[in-house]
Amino acid sequence: MAGAAIDDILLNISPGGQMALGIVLALIMYGVALDLRVTDFVDVFRRPAAPLAGLAAQLILLPAVTWAITMVLKPQPSIALGMMVVAACPGGNISNLITHMARGNTALSVSMTGISSLLASVTTPLNILFWAGLNPQTAALLRQVSVDPVSFIGSTVLLLGVPMVAGLLTVRHLPVLADRLRRPLQILSFVFLIGFILAATITNWRYIAVFSTAVLPFVVLHNAIAVALGWGVAKILGLSDYDTRALTIEVSMHNSGLGLALILTQFDGLGGAALVAAGWGVWHLVSGWALAAWWKRRDPHPARIEGAA
């Protein structure tokens, strides 16, 4: 019964709140662009196998595997949609920190985050619409919340692409301004996003028990499969341990804040999907930290790892 009820949950976000969240999302993407440098992408062209494999796993394989999970396990439609939204999101900057903690190839992690963020304005909406459309339950849910594909793609490109381009232009033509804006903007965006998550959580506190029983198991399983996918692709290609760590973490850590914002602004705040995105945002920090701690404990000498690159 709790499972059936979760599809009826709509997080209460006013039109003004949705507009404010859209502005915050634009600021987040602008801040991401301010962190990108041409040098971040040089390694991609020097050694393309690892980043291209990682991006394929992140942008193609994980959304496809996520669709397969939803078809086999048949979670509630809104939970399935939330899983697809998270899988379609690009990597988050926190993955770079976790990769550094794990003594993996941080440059590779940064390159993958940057490229996936640049592509997100197109790949994220296309992946969501394509894979959600192939699952009859989530396809029906898209119709229920009145998601028009053309409008969704257009608004997502506008919401993500324009601030990304603006950020890149700022870095290119106004580097001093970019340096001044970078840190404050990142802090401000993070504080605003956390504020929205806390407000939504407090407003909908009665659904926490539903989250623990109906949503959390899928979040944990989904994240574990993403970890296994990233690690498996790296091993199949025979990548070094140094690159494997970066690729594994990058594929398993997504910008779930972006996913939550999209759900709140584009999918009428659909509760089950929003709970998945918010839950992933917390859980991938736990799993990423645990993975980094295990790798760091296993190899206490960084020089040995970097020498394998």
Return all residues near 160 (Cβ < 8 A) that are at least 6 apart.
25, 29, 120, 121, 124, 258
pLDDT computed for residue 307 by the predictor:
42
In a 3-state reduction of DSSP, which class is residue 255?
Answer: coil
3-state secondary structure labels for all residues of 144-194: HCCCCHHHHHHHHHHHHHHHHHHHHHHHHHCHHHHHHHHHHHHHHHHHHHH
Q: Is the CB of residue 270 less than 8 Å from the CB of residue 301?
A: no
Give the pLDDT of residue 127: 94
Cα–Cα distance measured from residue 167 to residue 163, given in angstroms and rounded to the nearest whole number? 6
pLDDT at 79: 92
Which pLDDT value is given to residue 260?
81
Q: At what angle do helices 94-101 and 106-134 cross, to 10 degrees?
A: 130
Task: Say what the pLDDT of residue 244 is.
Answer: 93
CB 35 within 8 A of CB 298: no
For the chain, what is the radius of gyration of the CA atoms?
19
Could you please report the per-residue DSSP string of 98-136?
HHHHTT--HHHHHHHHHHHHHHHHHHHHHHHHHHHHHSH
* pLDDT score of 296: 83
Question: What per-residue confidence (pLDDT) applies to 156?
Answer: 75
Beta carbons within 8 Å of 48's beta carbon, 6+ residues apart: none
Q: Which of 184, 144, 167 is nearest to 32 (CA)?
A: 167
Q: How far apart are CA 180 and CA 183, in angstroms?
A: 7
- pTM of the predicted structure, to 2 decimals: 0.79
- Looking at residue 91, what is its pLDDT? 83
Cα-to-chain-centroid distance, residue 38: 22
pLDDT of residue 1: 41
d(CA 19, CA 33): 21
What is the phi/psi pair of residue 10, to 5°?
-125, 120
**Tens digits of pLDDT across the chain (309 residues):** 444 466 666 555 556 666 776 777 777 778 777 876 666 566 666 778 888 899 999 999 999 999 999 999 999 898 999 999 999 998 877 787 788 888 888 778 878 887 888 888 889 999 999 999 999 999 988 887 777 777 777 777 777 778 878 888 888 888 888 888 888 877 776 676 666 666 666 666 666 666 677 788 999 999 999 999 999 999 999 998 989 999 999 999 988 878 887 887 778 767 788 888 888 888 888 899 999 889 988 775 554 444 444
pLDDT given for residue 282 in this prediction: 80
Which of 121, 123, 18, 138 lies closest to 71, judged by CA? 138
